[in-house]
Structure 1
Amino acid sequence: MGIIRRMGGVGAMQKQLREMEAGILEKLKSVSAMEELNEIRVRFLGKKGELTGVLRGMGALSPEERPVIGQLANEVRARVESELEKRLSELKAMARNARLARENIDVTLPGTVFDTGGLHPLTTVSRQIEDIFIGLGFSVAEGPEIELDYYNFEALNLPKDHPARDMQDTFFIGPEVLLRTHTSPVQVRTMERTAPGLPVKIIAPGKVYRRDDDATHSPMFHQVEGLAIGSRITFGDLKGVLQVFARQMFGPETKTKFRPSFFPFTEPSAEVDISCGMCGGKGCRVCSHTGWLEILGCGMVHPRVLEMSGYNPEEVTGFAFGMGVERIALLKYDIDDMRLLFDNDMRFLEQF
C-alpha cells in the first residue's frame, strides 16, 4: 500500500489501518502453504512492510493525534500476529494429518520377516571340537600367531636345515620370526610353564599359516591340537580319546582306523581315518571308493620334545594330536572346496 500520506487527518489513517487489517485477515483464510504465510507476515509486519509505512506517516500528525494512531496500530499488529499464529498452527496440523494419512499402517497385515544371522560353519565346528575335548577333561590353551623359529620348529625336534621342515611351507617375517605353521608351539610353551608338574591335558585351537592355496588348502586355516602328559599314558589312551571324539563329531556308528605315519615330534606316529559317513564304508566318490576318510595326525610325544621342554622322558609319557578345522567341516558337511568357507557367499552360508 506504500507510505500513507495524511489525507483527511487521523480519521483517514484509522480507516486505512482498519481496511489493511481486514484485507490481511481475509487473505489468511485462503493461505494453504507455510511459504505463503511467511510472505504475508513479511509484507505486513516486516521492516519495509505496510504497517511500518503507515507508522512513518505519523510524523505529519499533531501530538494529540499520534497516541490515537499508535494505539490503533498496536491493536491491528496484535490482531494480525494472533491470526498468523493461529493459521500457522492450523497449517501444521493439516500437514501432520496428511503425513499420518500417507504413512497409515494397516495393523491387520502380516509383519515383516527379517533374516536372522547364524554361526559360520567353521565357528560351529570349532565350538563342537572344543566342547567334546573339554568334556574329556582337556582345557583350552592359546599362544601367539607370530612365533619364534625355536618354538615352531626346534623345540619340536625340527632343527635348522632338517628336511622335515619342507613339509610345512612357511611365511618367514625374519630369520628367527615367522607366522606359526601349526599350534604345536602352544604345547611347547605350556610344557615349559608346567614342567615337571603333572598331569597336562590341553587343546590348542587357533589360526595357522602356510603357503598353500587350492581347493583343499588355504594360506590361513584353523587347527586344534591336543596334548596329554602323565606318568602312565599309553598309545591306547590316545586311541580311546580319538575314538570318542570321532563318534561324537560324526555319529555313534563311526569307526576309526590308525595307520602308521611320520611326524618329527611324535614317535610312534599315526594318521587317523574314519569310516565314510556317505557310504557307510562301502566306497563312494567322497572317500575315493576306499570307505575311509583321513581326519587327523597323532602319536606319542617324542622323548626329545619332552626333554627339551623340561620333562624326564624316562619318567613321563604323553600323546599329541592335531586336526584342521576346515578338514573336519568339509567332511561333516560334504563340502568339496575349502575356498567356499572363506568366500562369504550368502548362498552358501545360508545353508548352515
Structure 2
Amino acid sequence: MDFERALAEVYTTFEQRLAAANRDADVEELRVAYLGRSGELTLMRRGIGKLPAQERPAAGQRINAVAERMELRLASALETLRAHGLEDALRERVDATFPARARRGSIHPIRRTLEDICDFFERRGFAVVVGPEAETEYHNFDALNIPPDHPAREGFDSFYLPGGLLLRTHTSPMQVRTMQAHQPPLAIVTPGRCYRRDALDARHSFAFHQVEGLVVAEGITMAHLKGTMEAMCRALFGPTQRVRFRPSFFPFTEPSAEVDTTCPGCHGLGCRTCSGSGWLEIGGSGMVHPNVLREVGYDSDRVTGWAFGLGTERIAMVRHGIDDIRTFVENEPAFLEQF
C-alpha cells in the first residue's frame, strides 16, 4: 500500500535524523519538522481524505501511533543528551587553587549609620530597644500626648491597618512600652523603620529610619540633653562639631527644640548643603512631657527625662555627600560598591 510505504519511509528518515542529533536544538528542529503545523505527519493527516473511505480510520490510527512513537523517541533523545551533557560537565577539571576575583559585600550606609549611632549610646550605658512596626493607636499616639484631633492622626498622614493598628510613624511607641515595663532610672535608644504618607522625592520617603533616645531619672535637665547631642555629633561628623537648639513644639515634650549641628561640609561657614546657613537640622528633642510620664505610671514630680529623634537618612546623606534619599533604596551596584 502506497500509504503504508510512505509512512514507513517518513519514520525511517526520522530515525536517521534523530540518530545524528547532538544538541537540544537539533531535537526541537526534528519535532517541528515531523510533528509541527507543517510537519511530515501533519501533511499525511491532511491527505487521509484522498484515501478510500474504508481505509481512512485505519490510516488515522497508524499516523497517531507513529506520532506517539516519535514523541517518545524525541523525549528519550533529549534525556540522553542532557545526561551526557551533565557527565561532560562533571568530567571537566576545575583548578580550585586558581585565584578568583572575590567581590565582598559591605554594610549599607543606612545600616552603618544606625550602628554608629547605637554604638555611641551603648558605650555610654544605653540599652538598644526594638519593637513592632505595626503599632496600636494607643502606643503611637494616645500615650504620647497626641490628641485625637492632631493632624498626625489623619488618614492622609498615616498608614492605617485593619484591627485598629497602623504602621508606626516614629519609634516612640517603644519608649512608652519600655517605661511601662521598667521603673526609672532608664536610658534607651530605639532604632527602626517608620512610615508616613509622604510623597517620594529627593528629601522625603514614605518609609524611613529613625533613632530615638530617652533618659528618665531624678535631676535630668536640658543641659544633659544638649551635651549628649553635641558629643554624638562630634562622634558622627568630627571633633569640631557644635550643636544649637531652636525652640519648637512636639506634643510629647515640653519644652521642645529642633537640634541643629554645624554643617560638616563647610564647618559652619555656609555652603550649598546647608543653604548658606552653616547649620543642618538633624532631628527634634525636648524634655519628656509630664503627661507622658504620668501615663506610664511615673511620678512626674520626682523624675524628669529628655528624649530626641533623629532622621537616619538625613544623617547618612550628610556623612556621605548624597543629595537624593532615593539613592539608598535603588540598589545600584555602582553606589553600593562604594561602601
What's the TM-score, normalizing by structure 2? 0.70
- Provide the C-alpha distance between the structure 1 equivalents of 2:242 and 2:310, rounded to a whole number of angstroms: 17
- Provide the C-alpha distance between the structure 2 equivalents of 1:325 and 1:275, rounded to a whole number of angstroms: 17
1:111 is displaced (CA, Å) by 2.8
Look up the equivalent residue of 1:311 and give its one-letter code. Answer: Y
Return the match for 1:319 from 286, 298, 306. Answer: 306
Residue number in structure 2 paired with 1:209 = 195
Query: Alignment partner of 2:306: what SS?
Result: strand
Residue number in structure 2 paired with 1:287 = 274
1:113 is displaced (CA, Å) by 1.9
Query: Alignment partner of 1:295: what SS?
Result: strand
Q: Which stretches of structure 1, 4 residues or more, deviate above 6 A after TM superposition?
A: 104-107
Within a 5 Å distance, the mapping from 1:192-207 to structure 2 comes to: 192-194=180-182, 197-207=183-193
Matched, 1:246 2:222: no
1:277 is displaced (CA, Å) by 1.2
Answer yes or no: is the 8 Å Cα contact 2:249–2:256 preserved in 1. yes
Compared with structure 1, are the counterparts of its residues 277 and 168 closer, same or farther at alpha carbon in structure 2 (3 Å cutoff)? farther
Residue number in structure 2 paired with 1:125 = 113
Residue number in structure 1 paired with 2:102 = 114
1:165 is displaced (CA, Å) by 4.2
Residues 143-171 of structure 1 deviation map (CA, whole Å, 9 limit, x = unaligned):
11110001100110012122464699100
Answer yes or no: is the 8 Å Cα contact 1:232–1:317 preserved in 2. yes
**Percent identity of equivalent pairs:** 52
Look up the equivalent residue of 2:239 and give its one-letter code. Answer: P
- Provide the C-alpha distance between the structure 1 equivalents of 2:124 and 2:155, rounded to a whole number of angstroms: 31
Answer yes or no: is the 8 Å Cα contact 1:164–1:264 preserved in 2. no
Which stretches in structure 1 are left out of the alignment for 5+ residues? 1-94
How many aligned residue pairs are there?
Answer: 250
- Provide the C-alpha distance between the structure 1 equivalents of 2:94 and 2:180, rounded to a whole number of angstroms: 70
1:327 is displaced (CA, Å) by 1.1
Answer yes or no: is the 8 Å Cα contact 2:151–2:157 preserved in 1. no
Look up the equivalent residue of 1:335 and give its one-letter code. Answer: I
Return the match for 2:224 from 237, 245, 249. Answer: 237
Residue number in structure 1 paired with 2:31 = none
Answer yes or no: is the 8 Å Cα contact 2:135–2:167 preserved in 1. yes
Compared with structure 1, are the counterparts of its residues 128 and 318 closer, same or farther at alpha carbon in structure 2 (3 Å cutoff)? same
Which stretches in structure 2 are left out of the alignment for 5+ residues? 1-86
- Provide the C-alpha distance between the structure 1 equivalents of 2:96 and 2:255, rounded to a whole number of angstroms: 72
1:320 is displaced (CA, Å) by 0.3
Residues 283-328 of structure 1 deviation map (CA, whole Å, 9 limit, x = unaligned):
1111101111111110000000101111111111000001111111
Look up the equivalent residue of 2:197 and give its one-letter code. Answer: R
Residue number in structure 2 paired with 1:303 = 290
Residue number in structure 2 paired with 1:331 = 318
Answer yes or no: is the 8 Å Cα contact 2:152–2:158 preserved in 1. no
Compared with structure 1, are the counterparts of its residues 167 and 318 closer, same or farther at alpha carbon in structure 2 (3 Å cutoff)? farther
Matched, 1:345 2:332: yes
